[in-house]
Amino acid sequence: MSAKADLDGFDERLRKRTMAAPHPLDTVPTDPSLKPRGVIPNTPLAASAVSFLLGSLFVLGFLTFAVGGFERFWWTTYQLGFFFAAWSAFHWGEFAVTAGWNKDKCSIDSFLLENGMTYHIAHGVALLEYLITLYFKPAFKNYPRVSYAGMLLVLIGQILRSTAMIHAASNFSHAIALRKLDSHVLVTGGVYR
């Protein structure tokens, strides 16, 4: 009889645990259509590891930008440092804004690191073009005003995108909606005014 009571007590505790509120670090979207589809596991450890790697790349890129590049290596220019800092800040920011203002749709896919092969090919070709031009025609990369204007546009674009995601809150999703749901609301405030 006591064994049955212990088993019933265990079942009751297990039921309560599964009914409990989700852990604040859980990043499992409530909508089944938004479940992660990539190969990176949707765990707090994976999100922490990706954040650490993106943060490390940001620091290396920002330091390269801040010191004006390293003359020891011809390819470590301030422009390349800014590119890596901006790239890593964008991907980390996508996850951070989604986690902060749209937690129901947040997952490891919110980093947008698995955007498809064409996304990675585009970045690879851009880097290859930059390095080839820098090697064969370095004078083409010696227009700091043009570079700084481009960097300013990147910063403005990132601020505008993050602000738009924050104002849209739960109405924003990285997954394209094919039909209007009852939960969709037209956002008319903030940057959408």
pLDDT digits (tens, 9 = 90+) for 29-53: 767 777 788 889 888 899 999 999 9
At 138-188, the pLDDT tens digits run 999 999 999 999 999 999 999 999 999 999 988 888 888 788 878 888 888
- How far apart (Å, rounded) are the C-alpha atoms in residues 130 and 79? 10
C-beta separation of 42 from 108 below 8 A = yes
Q: Where would I find the H helices in 67-116?
A: 78-101
Q: Using the predicted structure, report yes or no on whether residue 15 has a pLDDT greater than 80.
A: no
- What is the secondary structure of 14-26 as a DSSP string? HHHHHHSPPPTT-
- Domain with 87, as residue range(s), is 42-192
- 27 in a structural domain: no
Domain contains 33: no
Question: Does 21 map to a domain?
Answer: no
Q: What is the model's pLDDT at position 97?
A: 96
Smallest CA-to-CA distance from 82 within 11, 130, 40 is with 130
50 token code pair: 């990706």
Residues 90-141: tens digit of each pLDDT:
999 999 999 999 888 889 999 999 988 999 999 999 999 999 999 999 999 9
Which of 17 and 92 is assigned the larger pLDDT? 92
Q: Is residue 113 part of a domain?
A: yes
Asked whether residue 158 is domain-assigned, the answer is yes
Q: Looking at residue 120, what is its pLDDT?
A: 94
pLDDT of residue 109: 92
Residue 37 lies in a domain: no
**pTM, to two decimals:** 0.82
96 located within any domain: yes
pLDDT score for 123: 95
Q: How many domains does the chain have?
A: 1
As given in the structure block, the two tokens for residue 177 are 């909606």
In a domain, 34, yes or no: no
Is residue 69 classed as helix, strand or coil in its secondary structure? Answer: strand
